[in-house]
Amino acid sequence: MSDCIIAPSILSANFARLGEEVDAVLAAGADWVHFDVMDNHYVPNLTIGPLVCEALRKHGVTAPIDVHLMVKPVDRIVPDFAKAGATLISFHPEASEHVHRTVQLIKSAGCQAGLVLNPATPIEVLDYVLEELDLVLLMSVNPGFGGQAFIPSALSKLRAVREKIDRSGRSIRLEIDGGVKADNIAEIAAAGADTFVAGSAIFNAPDYAEVISRMRAEVAR
Ligand code: DX5
Ligand code: ZN
């Protein structure tokens, strides 16, 4: 497993120039494209859907697209994202009536499956489904907006989920999302994350390559 994946969240990109923005972060050394889908129902904001994912693929994006669904219900939109070229699809257990079924639906559509835990969601939700997952995504902010501050209790939660993943013996990625910056990424990595979403920290920086390489250096520290 690659030890450090940097996944810029395009929520903070310039949507008027989205294709160029995605090309630019990938050229600057990003590994994945983090794609935040909000429905103004499960979360209080409205963003982008499968059409935009498909448009990025048509534009020529070949990097993994990491779709973070903040929508309720979940199942209806999964096949559309699979067709649109999503690589991974993650969802919140609170937004699905049948979590195990949604995981199977994502995998049968040919995508990797992730489960997302909000700051107040107990990690026990992973207990009977962890072995089916390709990724666990821990939210270190409440979902809905970019640019919020990292919630410190996410660090002990990361350590606890890291232990669960290691005990399972499976290669499941542990992703963190919300308030990740070059100056806190080292302690986040030390707590067990291997996959880092960053929106405002990357897209608000003048030089994407500089901030991404600074993040990698901090993780390797
Ligand atoms: C929030 C989204 C995040 C967001 C992160 O609901 O899931 O991916 O874009 O933004 P930053 O990195 O600015 O906290
Ligand atoms: Zn996200």
End-to-end CA distance of the chain: 19
Bond before 73 cis per omega within 30 degrees: yes
CA of 9 to the centre of ligand 1 (A): 6
Substitution site in 5, 9, 34 for ligand 1 pocket (most atoms within 8 Å of beta carbon): 9
DSSP state of 7: E
Q: Which residues, in sequence order, are CB contacts of 148 under 8 Å at separation 6+?
A: 141, 142, 178, 179
Backbone angles phi, psi at 32, to 5 degrees: -125, 165
DSSP state of 148: P
Q: What is the pLDDT of residues 179-218, one digit of tens each?
A: 999 999 999 999 999 999 999 999 999 999 999 999 999 9
Whose CA is closest to 154, among 192, 186, 107, 114?
192
Q: How confident is the model at residue 4, as a pLDDT?
A: 96
| Dihedral sign computed on CA atoms, order 108, 82, 198, 125 | negative
Residue ranges and CATH numbers for the domains of the chain are 5-220 (3.20.20.70)
User: What does each C-alpha distance from 166 to 61, 124, 163, 192, 209 come to in angstroms?
Assistant: 32, 15, 5, 10, 32
ipTM above 0.85, yes or no: yes
Q: How confident is the model at residue 221, as a pLDDT?
A: 87
The whole-chain average pLDDT of the chain stands at 98
CA of 6 to the centre of ligand 1 (A): 13
Percent of the chain with pLDDT over 70: 99
31, 36, 39, 66: which is the annotated catalytic residue? Answer: 36
Would you say residue 52 has pLDDT above 70? yes
